[in-house]
Amino acid sequence: MLVLGRFSYAGKVATVFYGGQLLFLAKMADRIADGAIVTFSLQVELFGLQMSWRFDALSWFFAVITLGAGLLSSWYASGKWGERFRRRGGNLWLLHVALAANVFSMLILLGSGDLLALFIGWELVSWASFLLMTVAGGRAIQAAMRYITYAMSGAMAILAGIVLLWSHAGGLQYAQIIDVMPQLSQAQVWLLVALFGSGFAVKMGLLPLHLWQAAAYAETPGPGAAFFGAISARMGLYAIILVLVQLIGLARLSELTIPFTFLDMRDLWAWIAVLTIILPTYTALRQTDARYLLAWHGIGQGGYMLLGVVLGDALGSAGGLLHVFNYATNQAVLFFAVFAVMFRTGTADLNKLGGLITRMPISFFAMLVGIIGLAGLPPMNGFVSKWFVYRSLMIEGEPLLFLGAIIGTLGTILSVYKLIHNTFLGQLRVEHVEVREAPWSMVAPMIILMLLIFATGVAPGLVLDWVALVQSAVGLPVVENTLGGVELASGSLDMLWVVGVLFAGFGIGALLFYSGGRTRQVHQLDNYAGGHFLTAETRYHYSDNFYAGLMHLIRPWYRGSFVWLESTLGSLLGIAASLMQRLYGARHPSIYLLVTVVATLTWVLL
């Protein structure tokens, strides 16, 4: 990419390249399906530590999504969008390089065969993301700086955890760590979970470490945002599954009780997941920029995945893992649609759009499919994964977590409706009369994703096969799936039937509609507005201060506590830094000398 990127066909080459890698992965699928672990011949020794790379089912599952997202994003960028981006002074070469760097570093991370390789992959991913975030410049730089601050502190926590493990296990191979795990005391495991957990939670955007994510993703130019939204944050989930589920084990987490409460560590993670669902989702509800709205949802939907995985039973963890795939498809198509609108109208401000359905019908349909999936309604794939998580919560007897997840879904439905209503429905603005549908290079990835979302919604068994492999690879109970869903004694799900009944209902409706006699189309301005005579200049599209009634009820809950927490931490750091500076700047070197001498003597004597 570094070399080819200068040429105009770079995007197309990159797309073909990702396609090739995807084919390679597909070839690998047979071996993964046998439960084999594909190791790479490259092995590096560093400070006496063996580093190796390999792909198991878990890595493979995430890698497929990564490459798929990379493929479609670079396809999206390779046509008119890229031309326009370059003409506006954007650095298309840098964008493609950054995207390729992201995909590559993520593959390295996913293929890591030990903790050292994992850490190196982690750092590469962080910096590659930083590169892609900064492409747009301006506000994006600020967001990216915030991200890299978070990412670096997270990485330090991970490094501390790795050092802790190394000092006990004497090596960083996964097998060594699994062996040493039973010998560690409760307090040590506590510390490990806290260090690794907080480090990975940064990438995943779990509460309370989520503040960087929305702005950083939303400000990234089009395909980059779609790529980030689809998969980037899920690297955190990958690492969490790897370390917490595979290495430490969920059973061990349940043994760690939290003092003075009746909760254990696993409950704590479940509650973090639920809060991550609820709070960012309702923050998304308040956004007026479509990109920010989607990016906030990205944080919220991560909660469902973590919740499913932490539940740890066959159904719940399958739901969590399946949601990674489903959500990636939904979020990518939503970002594509939003950036297609932005490409044509120049704005993603939800108060400045409306009525574009007559101008951009395919983008509308793409967004419709995306929001149905994101809100978790049939017949799209998001329904299946959320159903799994809900069902698992019911079977496990977790009414409060269930309630939290439901509240989150309610917020999702409300805010995605706001998204599609304010963008595509209602009154067309005078300035958008001339708008056209986005060019083919942008529409084609959307159509592919729509088909994918629908197909995996009707036949979730296609993805569930992979999910079952992942579950067996990381040692979770494996879900028994059919093509249409699952068969359980406590209630099955067969999407073939669900979708069949749904479309039969549509069919009856269509029959009534088309047999009902002649219809007449009326002008959009020949519309009821309490008897007002409407003109094109009259704004009757209700988009500003959307959900005023609901907002009136829940506004006191938006306290910005996390922003406050972040700024408190920041200012505390500032105070500490200035104190240190005072110390350095002090004019009494003799005192330091004395202190140093005393300290050295003490150390030598003891």
Partner 1 sequence: MKEIDNPIEAPVDQSRTNPLARVFDELVRFCRSRSMFMLHYCTGCGAIELPPAMTSRFDMERLGIQPMVTPRQADILLITGYVSIKTLKRVILTYEQMGSPKYVIGICSCTVNGGMYWQSYATAKQLDQYLPVDLYIAGCMPRPEAVLEGMRKLMDRIRSGEADGWKDYYRRYDWYLGNQQHLFGDDWQTPADVIGEASHYDLAEPGTEGEHTRLLQQCQKPLEPQQTFFQIGGSLEKKGESHE
Taking only Cα atoms into account, the Rg of the chain, rounded to an integer number of angstroms, comes to 26
Q: How far is the CB of 533 from partner 1 (least distance, A)?
A: 7
Query: Which range binds partner 1 by CB under 8 A, 40-48, 92-100, 260-268, 527-535?
Result: 527-535
Q: Indicate the DSSP class of residue 525.
A: T
- Interface pattern 468-507 for partner 1 (x via CB under 8 A): ----------------------------------------
Tell me: does residue 433 bind partner 1 (CB under 8 A).
yes
Tell me: does residue 231 bind partner 1 (CB under 8 A).
no
- Which one of 525, 569, 572, 594 is in contact with partner 1 (CB under 8 A)? 525
Contacts with partner 1 in 83-112 (CB under 8 A)?
83-84, 88
**Number of residues near partner 1 (by CB under 8 A):** 39
Tell me: does residue 434 bind partner 1 (CB under 8 A).
yes
Instruction: Read off the tokens for 515.
Output: 């047999």
Tell me: does residue 517 bind partner 1 (CB under 8 A).
no
Tell me whether residue 512 or residue 522 sits nearer to partner 1 (CB atom). 522
How many CA atoms within 13 Å lie on the side-chain side of 52? 15
Tell me whether residue 347 or residue 482 sits nearer to partner 1 (CB atom). 347
Q: Hey, what amino acid is at 539?
A: R
Q: What is the DSSP string of 453-516?
A: HHHHHH-THHHHHHHHHHHHHHTPPPP-EETTEE--TT--EEHHHHHHHHHHHHHHHHHHHHHS
- Which one of 61, 119, 343, 454 is in contact with partner 1 (CB under 8 A)? 343
- Which one of 536, 576, 577, 597 is in contact with partner 1 (CB under 8 A)? 536
Q: How far is the CB of 233 from partner 1 (least distance, A)?
A: 26
Give me the residue label for tokens 């496990």. 396
- Which one of 185, 399, 512, 518 is in contact with partner 1 (CB under 8 A)? 518
Measure the CA–CA gap between 103 and 18, rounded to whole angstroms.
Answer: 9
Tell me: does residue 564 bind partner 1 (CB under 8 A).
no
Tell me whether residue 289 or residue 437 sits nearer to partner 1 (CB atom). 437
Using alpha carbons, list the distances in angstroms from residue 203 to 155, 212, 214, 239: 10, 10, 12, 10
Measure the CA–CA gap between 302 and 287, rounded to whole angstroms.
Answer: 18
- Interface pattern 346-385 for partner 1 (x via CB under 8 A): x-----------xx-xx-----------------------
CB atoms near residue 205 (< 10 Å): 27
Q: How far is the CB of 437 from partner 1 (least distance, A)?
A: 5
Q: Where are any strands of DSSP class E within 58-159?
A: none
Three-state secondary-structure class, residue 88: coil
Tell me whether residue 47 or residue 528 sits nearer to partner 1 (CB atom). 528
Tell me: does residue 549 bind partner 1 (CB under 8 A).
no
Q: What is the DSSP string of 535-559?
A: -TTS-----TTTTHHHHHHHGGG--
Measure the CA–CA gap between 121 and 238, rounded to whole angstroms.
Answer: 12
Give the containing element (helix H, strand E) for 55.
Answer: strand 49-55
Tell me whether residue 533 or residue 557 sits nearer to partner 1 (CB atom). 533
How many CA atoms within 13 Å lie on the side-chain side of 398? 23
Residue numbers at the binding site for partner 1 (CB under 8 A): 80, 83-84, 88, 342-346, 358-359, 361-362, 431-440, 443, 518, 520, 522-528, 530-534, 536
